[in-house]
Each structure stands twice: as structure tokens, then as C-alpha cells.
Amino acid sequence: MDIIKNNNKVTLPDAIIVGAAKAGTTSLFNYLTEHPNIFSPRTKEPWFFSFKNNPQSFIIPHSGKKNPQEIISNEQKYFDLYSNTSKYVIDGSTSYLYTSETTIKNIKETYGDKFDEIKIVIVLRNPIQRAWSHYMMHIRDNKTKLSFRESISKNIIQKRLAMNGTIGYDYIGFGMYYRQVKLFLETFSNVKIVLYDDFLNDSSSVLEQLLQFFELDHYSFKSQQKYNVSGAPKNRFYKLLSVLINKESNLKSLLRKIVPKNIIEPLTQEFKKNIYRKVELKTEDKEKLIKIYRDDIVSLKNIINYDLQHWLK
């Protein structure tokens, strides 16, 4: 979508996948970019509308080291992501749903009169499983040493956020969908809600629905690769490998810049799939989360007209 900004024509996303985090959005985003008429930048999650003009330097709480998430807060840098394409442009930043109020304010400010032409995609996953998957991603990436029960404690979450820990450590808040979704539905005319289970069970059908939503031609997507799979290392050797592959380095940063995304991503994901094992959520932790989310799920069900009763079982 082209807009005029400061007397210059700039290209901005036609569609934004706003989240939720750990709801298959990485896979969805990468599948969509196979389409010959869809463009995405190398920076898959710029988080721009969450932190426009508000530079962040998040840390990993247990180590105090800078979190490697690349956040673009400068408007011109965001414009530059899309400066070399005339294709249909998408942004897939899972922070946008969590920071819904700020996100919407910044979208309106950036797009001006064209803000309501954007297509918004929201993918929702059972918040209990979403929280567990988010935690296991941090276990996988060696970004937490706490137990899951400790990590979902209100006091621990507040403490981590207060010390400038990445917002992803708010495992509970990322799944409080009702208010987040309500704000997007009330603001935008073109909102498509997808359930994670539907995408998992029939990705082809969901992708076709999204192409119709974007008003793009049919395309037979070939990729069946799962992206951003969470889990714990299968053994001590794999744990060492996990630390090495998730550790930031100048070499990794260089490789991201010079190796095509369509080559490095599948190799990375295939490697991760082989060294991690799935770990099940404990029954007592699941019951605790059901109590936390029950009211929010019921409220959400009433505004999106989806049967979400299975989330509470």
C-alpha cells in the first residue's frame, strides 16, 4: 500500500499478522511468502507499531544479556524494509496483539486516512497451550532457568518486566485475548480471525481463505515445514548444541544478512526439530491456567462467535 508521508511516496504493509505469539504465526507467515505476489522483508518481526519512536533494549532476565530480537522503532528504517517492492506486502509481528492499544495508535498515526484499508490477521491458540509453548521456547533458547510454575507467577512476571525483560516473559498477558481482539475488531473493518487448531489441521484451507481475504490469486503452497518449534533438548549433548546455535555472535548476524532466508530458515528449523523433544504440560499447571483464563475465554467467545469450550478442558 502506497501512502504519502512528508511529501514522499512510501510503501507500507497491505496486511498485518498481529499475533498471537506461539500460535503458528511464523509458519503462516513463511507459507504466505511463498506466494509469488507476496513480499516480506528479511526482518520478519520488526515490532515497529509496538515501539515506534520508543527504542527498546530488552534483556534476558536470568543472564542480564541483551535480547537479540531486532526491533525497528525508527520510521524511516521501517519504510526502508518495503522500499524495493511493488508486491502485496505483509508484516508479521506477534507483539502487536499484546500491545494492541499502542499498536493501533501507531498504525493510525502512520497510515493516516488509509489506516482502515489494512487487512488484519489474528491467529488465536488455546492460551493455556500458548503460555506453555512460549515458556518451552525460552527453555529451548536457554533464556530462562525458572520452572514454569514460577514463571507464571504474577510477582515474577512483574519483576521481569520491571527489569526490562522482553515482553515475551509475560506468559499470561500474551494470552489475555479478549481486550486485545476487541480493540482490533472495534478499530478495523477488515479483520480475519484464524484458530490455531484449524491451521494445524488444514493449513491449505486456511491459506486459501487468507488469499481470498487479501484478494490475491489462488496458489498451491508447497511448504509443510514447521517453524519455531519449541521443546527441550533430547540429551546433554543436544543441550550443548542448543546453547551454541541460540547464542548470538557476529558470524550469525553476518549469515542472516548474506544467506537467503529461504535457504537458512528450512535448514535451521530441520536441525532444531531433530534435537528437541516435546514436553507435556503438568496437569496441576494446566488447571491453574484454566482458572486464570476462564473468564477471558468466555468473554472472547462472545465477541468472535467461535466455540472455545475445548480450551477449558
Q: Each residue of 227-264: pLDDT tens digit?
A: 556 666 666 665 666 555 566 554 455 555 565 555 55
- Give the pLDDT confidence score for residue 84 in this predicted structure: 84
Q: Is residue 104 part of a domain?
A: yes
Q: Is residue 145 part of a domain?
A: no
CATH number assigned to the domain comprising residue 82: 3.40.50.300
For the chain, the C-alpha Rg in angstroms (whole number) is 19
- Give the pLDDT confidence score for residue 251 in this predicted structure: 47
Q: Which pLDDT tens digit goes with each residue over 16-73?
A: 999 999 999 988 998 999 999 999 887 789 999 999 999 998 999 988 888 888 899 9
What are the Cα distances from residue 308, in Å, to 18, 76, 196, 229, 312?
20, 41, 12, 24, 8
Q: How far apart are the first and last CA of the chain?
A: 42
Whether the CB-CB separation of 264 and 257 falls below 8 Å is answered with no
- Give the pLDDT confidence score for residue 223 in this predicted structure: 61
Mean pLDDT value across residues 133-153: 93
- Domain span at residue 14? 2-126+173-226+297-312
Mean pLDDT value across residues 90-96: 96
Q: Which pLDDT tens digit goes with each residue over 165-218?
A: 999 999 999 999 999 999 999 999 999 999 999 999 999 999 999 999 999 999
- Give the pLDDT confidence score for residue 62 in this predicted structure: 85
State the sign of the Cα–Cα–Cα–Cα dihedral 275, 280, 285, 286.
positive
Q: Which pLDDT tens digit goes with each residue over 250-308?
A: 445 555 556 555 555 665 665 566 667 778 999 999 999 999 999 999 999 999 999 99
- Give the pLDDT confidence score for residue 121 in this predicted structure: 98
Q: Is residue 110 part of a domain?
A: yes
Count CB neighbours of 172 within 10 A: 18
Q: Is residue 35 part of a domain?
A: yes
- Count the residues in the chain: 313
- Give the pLDDT confidence score for residue 290 in this predicted structure: 97
The per-residue DSSP string of 171-210 comes to: TTGGG-HHHHHHHHHHH-S-EEEEEHHHHHH-HHHHHHHH
Q: Is residue 250 part of a domain?
A: no
Q: Is residue 112 part of a domain?
A: yes
Q: Is residue 108 part of a domain?
A: yes
Number of domains in the chain: 1
Q: Is residue 136 part of a domain?
A: no
Q: Can you tell me whether residue 44 is helix, strand or coil? A: coil
For the chain, percent of residues with pLDDT exceeding 70: 83
- Give the pLDDT confidence score for residue 167 in this predicted structure: 96
Do the strands 88-92 and 232-233 form a parallel or antiparallel pair, or are they unpaired? unpaired
Count CB neighbours of 57 within 10 A: 8
